[in-house]
Amino acid sequence: MRTELRIIAAAATMIPQIHASGGLSARRTGPHTVHLIGTAATPLGGDELDIVVVVAPGAELVVRSVAATIALPSSTTPLSIGRWDLEVGSGGALDFDPEPMIVAGGARHHTRTTIRLAADARLRVRERVQIGRTGEDSGQWRGDLIADVDATPLLRHRLELGAGAPADDALSAPRALESELVYPDERPAATTGLTQTRVPLAAGGSLFTRTGSLLAVSE
């Protein structure tokens, strides 16, 4: 199945526009808030998701989801693909924080998130991934995060988690990940133990990552 979703916050005084086909849609739940809603079982192996979120200059948008997403293998392939394209114009603000992605045993899901920001835009993008449901640990996830501020590269980042990942270890490798990109952000670097860190980015903003066996309780 191919899923296409477009969410456009056109102006501060207008409600977001939504155009959807396939297994994912969205509903307006506030003046500047939309919730992602599954309309069919997706992603299954072989599925492709193309999601575009545009925040026009001066507009604001908050994106949430009503439930976690579960990636499942199909009878023909374990791999599903998600492409997320986020754009925030001058003076705009995007807060993107959906519920976690659960990668079931035997499934593989690859995500590519591309972000384009104006220099005076504001952004928070949070991604959470859990490998396996109860009793499962053989799923695999890969996430590419590419962000630019105007013509300046902000971030080029890839993380892999689960079975077959380069750092996978049957005894102690993490099976859960939380990642958060914030721009602008002037907080200094901070590290907690071996599993949690926040690092400033050269072009502004910060990247936070936390790994573990299970996702932390959502705040």
pLDDT digits (tens, 9 = 90+) for 87-120: 999 999 999 999 999 999 899 999 999 999 999 9
Q: Give the start-end residues of each E strand in 31-184.
A: 33-38, 48-55, 60-65, 69-71, 79-88, 93-96, 101-103, 108-117, 122-131, 140-149, 152-162, 176-183
pLDDT value for 162? 85
* Interatomic CA distance for residues 216 and 61, integer angstroms: 25
pLDDT digits (tens, 9 = 90+) for 72-82: 999 999 999 99
Q: Residue by residue, what is the 3-state secondary structure of 136-161? A: CCCCEEEEEEEEEECCEEEEEEEEEE
Residue 134 has pLDDT above 70, yes or no: yes
For 46, phi and psi rounded to 5 degrees? Answer: 95, -15
Q: Model-level pTM?
A: 0.92
